[in-house]
Amino acid sequence: MPATKPDVLPPIDVGAWFRGGAKIQGSDPKKLNDWKLDWAYAELHAGGKIHKNVAITVNLNASMADYNQGGAFVGLEDAIIQFDFIDEFHLWVGHLLVMADRANSAGPFFAIPWNFYPGTFAAPATPHEGPTGRSNGAVVWGDIAKGKLTYIVGAYDNGNAVGIPATGTTPAVPGSSPLFSGRLRLSLLDEEPGFWGNSSYFGDKDIFSIGLGGQYQKDGSTSGMKNWMEFNADLLFEKKLGGGSFVTAEAGYDHFGDDDGTPSDLVYALVAFATGTMGYGNLQPMARFQFEKIKSVAGVSPPSPWSVDAGLAYLIKGPALRVIANYMHTKIDDNASANAIQFGAQAIFF
């Protein structure tokens, strides 16, 4: 009898991702009278199978400044052991993404705006999560109907990291109760399978996708005295128009129910159009509007900030190589506003 052939596993995948930018803005944020190198951010990705149904992922990241300009850091982004039993059922365990909304699942590299998430607004207008949107936990997820419907449900140990931005430099503090976070994604045109998600497929797919997400943690509010609840819904439409051109429209709503803090509602809308090939790539103008309604607390009505972005990108190789110029105007209240012009470049080596 011939010997049984061993399973031949694919080689380890290694990738390097980089984003760097500069900003024109003065010490008075209303004025465009100074400039600075804004930040540089890099990720190193590695992963592969150790069994036909088991894989590992280890990603590192580093930055000269986090997305809210809080300081430099070097850290472990992901450390995941992945049990991939069937398309409809996967179990991933380790230090991994807190799956909440589309922006969180896509991250900065696969979003059209340069200020990817949360854009202008910080906590409480963000889901609970640890540094770089990750926390220790376990996630069950699966693709149904070949990626037309995807469910993701996870339990995480440090949902009490309130106020930490998506890339925050402050270590997350484990909560006394687990944070439960999940998402449903329904794709009505091309399939959108997999754990990770995009805020744009940059002309590779025709997408009409509806997403619902939410979070819950007992005693997980800002003061730890009441329960934390968050709900979000989003819609992504992207259509290829021929000649390499495509149009994108995205909208979303988030409700943050920190009952003894400052509950708020956030809405956003984005439109973008990528031309056909011009030289080495595509020109892509975009515009985004964000508005946050902060509810009154103890009879006091806080201001409701809003912002608008207008950007122009040149997609040399889709998200793998692009440059962008972006203008943002933010209105906090009648006495506080800001203007900024940003320039950025992004490169991904898979």
pLDDT tens-place values along the chain, 350 residues long: 566 666 778 888 999 999 999 999 988 888 999 988 877 999 999 999 999 999 999 999 998 764 445 567 889 999 999 999 999 999 999 999 999 899 888 888 999 999 876 555 655 557 888 888 899 999 999 999 988 999 999 999 865 444 433 344 344 444 568 999 999 999 999 999 999 989 999 999 999 999 999 999 887 776 666 788 899 999 999 999 989 999 999 999 998 876 555 678 899 999 999 999 999 999 999 999 999 888 776 667 778 889 999 999 999 999 999 999 999 999 988 788 999 999 999 999 97
Q: How many other C-beta atoms can be found within 10 angstroms of the C-beta atom of residue 320? A: 15
Query: Given this model, what pLDDT does residue 1 score?
Result: 56
Residue 302 lies in a domain: no
DSSP per residue, 194-261: SSS--S--TTS--EEEEEEEEEEETT-STTSSS-EEEEEEEEEEEEEEETTEEEEEEEEEEEE--TTS
Residue 71 lies in a domain: yes
Residue 292 lies in a domain: no
Q: Is the pTM of this model over 0.85?
A: yes
What's the domain range around 104? 13-265
Query: Given this model, what pLDDT does residue 258 score?
Result: 62
Residue 324: in which H helix or E strand, if any? strand 321-333
Question: Is the previous residue joined to 178 through a cis bond, with omega within 30 degrees of 0?
Answer: no
Q: Identify the CATH number of the domain in which residue 72 sits.
A: 2.40.160
Residue in this structure with the two tokens 């999560």, named with its chain if needed: 129
Q: Which tokens is 118 given?
A: 């949360």
Residue 2 lies in a domain: no
Residue 331 lies in a domain: no
Query: Given this model, what pLDDT does residue 158 score?
Result: 60
Q: How many domains does the chain have?
A: 1
Distance CA 119, CA 106 (A): 14
Residue 207 lies in a domain: yes
Residue 58 lies in a domain: yes
Query: Given this model, what pLDDT does residue 210 score?
Result: 97
Name the residue among 106, 63, 21 with its Cα closest to residue 325: 21
Residue 219 lies in a domain: yes
Distance CA 243, CA 96 (A): 38
